[in-house]
Structure 1
Amino acid sequence: MDDLTTDRLILHPLTAAEATAVEHGTAEGPPAGARWAPGYPSAGDRAAARRFLETCAGPGDSQPFGPYEIRRRADGVTIGGVGFHGRPDAAGQVTVGYGLVRSARGSGFASEALRALLAFARSQGVLAVNGDADLDNIGSHRVMVSAGMQVVAVDHRLKHYRVEWSPATHRP
C-alpha cells in the first residue's frame, strides 16, 4: 500500500516487519533506514503494533485499516503514529487513534494526520469514524474537533468523538 501524504507529513502504513520493530520499541531501535524521534514508539504505538500483528496472525493483514507512522516530509523522521483499530465493521464504522512524541506536539501535526486519515477512510467507503480521549487531554480534544469530529458522549473517563457521512455523500 502507498503512503498517504499531506503538506508536511507522510503517513506510512506499517508492514508486519515494521510493526514488529515498533512493538519491541527502543530496545532494538528502528529498522534499517528508519529514523525515529526521541520518545517514539510510545506505549500506544507499541499497543497498536501488537494489535496489528495479532490481526495479521489471525484473520490477516488489515491494511489499509491498520497503523501508520507519522513522518515529517522535511526530514523523514517518525514523530508518532496514527491509525485504525481494524477494518470497518458491518455498519461501515472504524475507530482511530493517534499520538505524537512530546517534541512534535503543538504544531498541528496530529490534526493534519487525522484529517488525512479521515479523508482516506471516507474515500474507502467508511461511513463513520470514532475516537476518544481522556477527559483531561484537552490537546487531543482539539485535534479531533479540528479534524471535523464532534463530541457524541462523555463518561466518567472519556470524551467520545465521531464523524459520519451518509452513503449519498460518500466519495469513492
Structure 2
Amino acid sequence: MDDLVTARLVLHPLSAGEAERVLNGDRDGAGGWADGYPAEGDVSAVRRFLATCAAVGDPRPFGTYEIRLREDGRTIGGVDFHGPPDEDGGVTIGYGLVPSAHGNGYASEALRALLAFARAQGVSSVAGDTDAGNLASQRVMTAAGMRLVAESDRLRFYRTAWDGPAGRRPT
C-alpha cells in the first residue's frame, strides 16, 4: 500500500513487521524516530493493529500509520483507524505526536489527510474522542472538519459524516 503524502508529512501505513518493530522499540527505520516516539498511544495502536492482524488478517488500508516529516523522514507520531469500517460504513480514528512536534499544525494536517483518504475509500463517517481537558486535540479535530457531537465529564466526542458522493461537504 502506498504512503499518504501531504505538503509536509508522509503517513506511512505500517505492515505487521513494522508494527512489531515499533512494539519492540527497534529504531532501525526510514528516517529514524523523534525523541519520545513511540509514545504510549503509539504502542497501544500497534498492539490493536497486531491483534486485528492475528484475528482477521491485515486490515490495511484501515490500519496504523506512522506520521513522518517529508523533509527528513523522521517519525513524529502516529494516526490510525481503530479497525475497518463497521456495518454502517463508519470508522474510529486516533492520533498523537511527540511533544517536540506539537504546535506546528502537523496533527491537523495528518488528520485531514486521513479523513480525505477514508472518504475516498467509501467510508460514511469518522469518529474520534479526546479527554475533556485536552483543548489542543479538540482544536485538531475541529480544524480537520470534525464536529463535537457529544460530551461527558471525561470525554469529548467528535464526528464527521458524508451522505453523498465525494466532493460534497461533510455533515
Q: Tell me how many residue pairs correspond in the alignment.
A: 167
Residue identity matched to 2:5: T
In the alignment, is residue 67 of structure 1 matched against residue 64 of structure 2? yes
Q: CA deviation at 1:33?
A: 4.3
Q: CA deviation at 1:24?
A: 2.2
In the alignment, is residue 94 of structure 1 matched against residue 101 of structure 2? no
CA distance in structure 1 between the partners assigned to 2:2 and 2:92 by the alignment: 21
1:86 is paired with a residue whose SS is: coil
1:132-171 equivalences in 2 (<5 Å): 132-166=129-163, 168-170=164-166
Q: Once superposed, what is the RMSD of the aligned Cα atoms?
A: 1.0
Residue matched to 2:108: 111
In the alignment, is residue 6 of structure 1 matched against residue 12 of structure 2? no
1:142 is paired with a residue whose SS is: helix
Structure 2, unaligned stretches of length 5 or more?
Answer: none
CA contact (8 A) 2:30 2:73 kept: no
CA distance in structure 2 between the partners assigned to 1:152 and 1:86 by the alignment: 21
Residue matched to 1:23: 23
How many percent identity over aligned positions?
60
Q: CA deviation at 1:170?
A: 3.6
Alignment deviations for residues 64-104 of structure 1 (CA, whole Å, 9 cap, x no partner) = 00100000000100000001000000000000000000000
Residue matched to 1:46: 43
Residue identity matched to 1:152: V
The alignment's TM-score, normalised by the length of structure 1, stands at 0.94
Q: 1:90 to 1:37 in 2, by over 3 A?
A: same
CA distance in structure 2 between the partners assigned to 1:49 and 1:30 by the alignment: 15
Q: 1:92 to 1:102 in 2, by over 3 A?
A: same
Task: List structure 1 segments (4+ residues) > 2 angstroms apart after TM superposition.
Answer: 31-34, 168-171
Q: 1:34 to 1:17 in 2, by over 3 A?
A: farther
Q: CA deviation at 1:146?
A: 0.1
CA distance in structure 2 between the partners assigned to 1:69 and 1:100 by the alignment: 10
CA contact (8 A) 1:2 1:13 kept: yes
In the alignment, is residue 79 of structure 1 matched against residue 76 of structure 2? yes
2:32 is paired with a residue whose SS is: coil
Residue identity matched to 2:18: E
Q: 1:80 to 1:32 in 2, by over 3 A?
A: closer
Q: CA deviation at 1:34?
A: 4.5
